[in-house]
Amino acid sequence: MSNKITVSIPEIFSFISHPELAIKALNQAEKGYTERKTVAYDFRETKKVCATAISVLIAFFKDRKLNRGMASDLLWPSDTQCRDALVSYGVRRRVNNTLETGECFSPIPVQKVTDSIVANEVAKQTVQTCSTFLYGKEVRIRELYSVLIEMMANTNNHAGSSSSPRNWFMFINKHENDTHKAVSFVFADLGVGIYNSLPVMQNLSTNPIPIFDDQKTNRRFKEIFEITQRLMRGEIKSSTGKRERGKGIPLLSKIAKEGHFSDFKLWANDAYVDFAKNEQYLMHEHFSGSLFYFQITEPR
């Protein structure tokens, strides 16, 4: 039996435009790691990648609890622009440990943080770097600081497990053109995912959602919609029982709807949520974790 599995990466590797294809490929990779095989990511037919999917890919490379210490290989794209994009995101140096030119997700390195004091410092450093890029000076961006602190404090509470915690990772990307500057963030938690977390499952068992549709897909969509609304209203509390926990999703939803961010999305389990637009969709592939994407844009 071969000790290597090859995963075909889709032509467009993105959670934003093609989440189900991206998740399907990543699930195949995770299965390979579980079977203790080297995973080769085949990008030869890939034409376009974006930070959302690449962020999860890099997290797979870095999280030894997920990859079980198994090696990761990469078959490079034939498309030159796609190859350049992978290098700019730092993929080559993470797979082959080879130094490359080009900026990788801003001066702030890929973060893996679990301690709340360190998380506080990461949030401060992130706000300082982003404000300097956007405004040319250090500016207090309270909404960004609040979002980062809440994600770091609450995502593991929802998506992790005290007996087998998973790491979370934050990736930052800067964009600039003739009309605007922007900073986008990808926050990946490789736990069980918000919709499979203990607080959500306990809430469902004690407060069953009345659904009478015979079709499974429609039934699950309605369930996802109701869970999301309950989360945003703060009706599903933390399983820790601590008063300061369980406030993350309501706060994120509130800030997103106030227009402080030009984009604010979540992919978790089989759910996709656009907090800014208050939209929820059911996905037909299951992502084992939670992935947030949000962006601040400043006109030039």
For residue 273, the cross-strand partners are 266, 280
In CATH terms, the fold of domain 116-299 is: Heat Shock Protein 90 (3.30.565)
pLDDT exceeding 70 applies to what percent of the chain? 77
Residue 100: per-residue pLDDT: 37
When the candidates are 3.30.750.24, 2.60.40.1930, 3.40.50.880, 3.60.15.10, the CATH number that belongs to 4-95 is 3.30.750.24
Say how many residues make up the chain: 300
What is the amino acid identity at position 151? M
- Average pLDDT on 241-250 reads 59
Specify the higher pLDDT residue, 112 or 152: 152
Contact present, 127 and 108 (Cβ < 8 Å): no
In this structure, how many other beta carbons lie within 10 angstroms of the beta carbon of residue 52? 25
Measured in degrees and rounded to the nearest 5, phi and psi for residue 251 equal -70, -45
Phi, psi of 229 (to 5 degrees): -65, -40
In this prediction, residue 221 carries a pLDDT of: 80
| pLDDT of 144 | 93
* Percent composition of the chain: helix, strand, coil (DSSP 3-state, to 5): 40, 25, 35
- What are the residues whose beta carbons fall under 8 Å from the beta carbon of 147, sequence distance 6 or more? 251, 252, 255, 261, 294
Q: State residue 94's pLDDT score.
A: 56
* Every domain range in the chain assigned CATH 3.30.565: 116-299
Q: Once rounded to an integer, what is the mean pLDDT over residues 194-219?
A: 68
Higher pLDDT, 2 or 226: 226
196 and 209 in contact (C-beta within 8 Å)?
no
| pLDDT higher than threshold 60 for residue 191 | yes
pLDDT tens-digit series, residues 12-23? 999 999 999 999
User: What stretch(es) of the chain map to CATH 3.30.750.24?
Assistant: 4-95
**pLDDT at residue 110 is higher than 50:** no
The pLDDT assigned to 210 comes to 56
Give the per-residue pLDDT at 16: 96
Among 3-12, 150-159, 190-199, 237-246, name the one with the lowest average pLDDT. 237-246
pLDDT at 156 over 60: no
Interval 270-299: pLDDT, tens: 999 999 888 889 999 999 889 999 999 987
Contacts of 34 (CB under 8 A, 6+ apart): 68
Task: Band the pLDDT of 206: cuts 50, 70, 90.
Answer: low
pLDDT value for 209 = 57
